Amino acid sequence: MSLYTYDRHGIDEEDDDDECSEAGWIQWFCSLEGHDFFVEVDEDYIKDNFNLYGLRPRVNNYDKALDMILAPEAPDDDDLVDPDFVEVYRCATDLYGLIHQRFITSPRGLTLMKEKFLKGGFGYCPRVLCERQNALPIGLSEELRSSRVKTYCPKCQEVYTPKASKVGEDMDGAYFGTSFPHIFLQTYANLVPLDFPTPFVPKIFGFRVHGKKSLVQEKLEHGEYGTPEATSSSSAAPPPHQTDQPSSSAQRPQPSAA
């Protein structure tokens, strides 16, 4: 199935929910199966033309898509079988996603993403030795249709493919962007794991395999996770910006795909 195939049956299933049918398009859209990573963008943010600058050339049927996003009611059964609706819906999905990418780096958006992160809403690092470290969404490109969204582990600093149950086929990585995890962890530095990731040590019959090192071990030896001195000092005296309010902090290394 194509990455951007419109799954009408999935939408019908969600549309049966009375609460979703009474909500606006944004609430309905974010409640769909496979849209777990989305947060609801404030309508006031969408109505501010400054926040939409440069998006018109990137999305077909821009005006119709924007009207759909701001619709006060969720689509009904007739809409869901209308080919014209389906066409605009695809465009609205892209437009909402690109707006979402910008919104989640705003103070309000960061707060909503933090709430979801703390609840494990983006899933966990699949690496066993990271001990279910909460993950963050990340895109590998700012361009649409390049790849689906991935997850970034703040502990091992690697990128993984999330579970299909949380990410629908229309969940483009551009809806989150390449910078979000790093902006998030700079803003909420108290959420950066203080302990270094535990490297896996390959062994045969209990004996370490000579010359075999995991990627994490290589990073540790090259100091890519920082130094123990820096970690202990940050733990002993948290900087004043470690609050619930968005702010800036130290830089984090860029992720590499795994």
pLDDT in tens, 64-78: 999 999 999 999 888
pLDDT value at 104 more than 80 = yes
H or E stretch covering 113: helix 107-118
Q: Using CA atoms, how far apart are residues 159 and 109, in angstroms rounded to an integer?
A: 22
pLDDT digits (tens, 9 = 90+) for 144-156: 999 999 999 999 9
Summary mean pLDDT of the chain: 82
SS3 state of residue 80: helix
Q: Alpha carbon of 60 to those of 7, 94, 133: distances in Å?
A: 20, 9, 39
**Is the separation of the CB atoms in 161 and 150 below 8 Å?**
yes
106-154 pLDDT per residue, tens: 999 999 999 999 999 999 999 999 999 999 999 999 999 999 999 999 9
DSSP secondary structure letters along 160-194: EPPPTTTB-TT-BGGGT-SSHHHHHHHHTGGGS--
Domains and CATH numbers, the chain: 1-103 (1.10.1820.10), 117-258 (2.20.25.20)
At residue 9, the pLDDT reads: 36
Q: How many CA atoms lie within 13 A of 23 on its CB side?
A: 17
167-196 tens-digit pLDDT: 888 899 999 999 999 999 999 999 999 888
Instruction: Write down the pLDDT at residue 234.
Output: 44
- Helix (H) or strand (E) segment spanning residue 98: helix 83-103
Q: What residues have CB less than 8 Å from 256, skipping those under 6 apart?
A: 157, 158, 159
pLDDT in tens, 219-229: 767 777 766 54
